[in-house]
Amino acid sequence: MADHLNVRSTGQGDRAVVLLHGLFGSGNNLGQLARGLSHDFCVFSVDLPDHGRSSWLERPSIAKYAERVAQWMDSENLSDVFLVGHSLGGKVAMQMALVRSDLVHKLIVLDIAPKAYERRHDPIFLALRSVESARLSTRREARAVLLRHLDDPQVADFLLTSAVLSDEGFLRWRFNLAGLEAGYVSILAAISVGQGEALCFDGPVLFIRGAHSDYVPTDAKIAFAPLFKRLQVVTVKNAGHWLHQEQPETVLTIVRRFFAP
């Protein structure tokens, strides 16, 4: 299906929570958060386009991802949701809040900001291409190749969650590697809105940043107030960019408190 967006749902409740994952990931990456929220909410874990089991786009961009997620929400009659995004998913979530504010009641952004970023994933792209070109058949072999280019075993293990066997019996990546590399500059760009679109989201917004991460500046509340008037910023101790995995209970507590009436 050309515009298929793979979404898994769990839990029950009057209010919907939509979770958006980061680059090279899938909806499973926010599984701990989904399980923790499913007692009180209907939780939707989305595979962004070019990721997981969702269809691929010719050229990825934050705006196109946000548009595709918004189209899915419209088709499901979802509006006024609690929207949570990590990293790339956080940029998509911010774009949605600005362009389709009717869809978002409260917004949580995990360790990312609406600003432009410098290139930092080139070693990962090289490692991913090296695995595909080596025509490997086991994750153990693939892990060894990844670690020739990456110095973080945790990143290698994360990437391997998206490794699948092709029909020929060789490992390939479930995400759209070529498309993501071609559209990487667009993914790094700052959040932007078109002419006639909202310049500010008036709903409650929470940035949760990792204390050991450099993705969200310490002056975020002031720097991004023009986009988000009701912005709060919370820093999680002993956590980096993967704060929802490094400090899952702390992040879940912060999220639940922010979503409380």
Distance CA 218, CA 231 (A): 13
Distance CA 103, CA 92 (A): 13
Distance CA 200, CA 197 (A): 9
Is 87 part of the annotated catalytic residue set? yes
Q: Count other Cβ atoms within 10 Å, centred on residue 118.
A: 5
Q: How many residues does the chain have?
A: 261
Report the amino acid identity of residue 43: V
Give helix 88-99 / helix 62-75 axis angle, nearest 10°.
70
Catalytic residue among 51, 86, 241, 244: 241
Is 241 part of the annotated catalytic residue set? yes
Contact 89, 21 (CB under 8 A): yes
Catalytic residue among 26, 45, 54, 87: 87
Enumerate the active-site residues: 87, 241
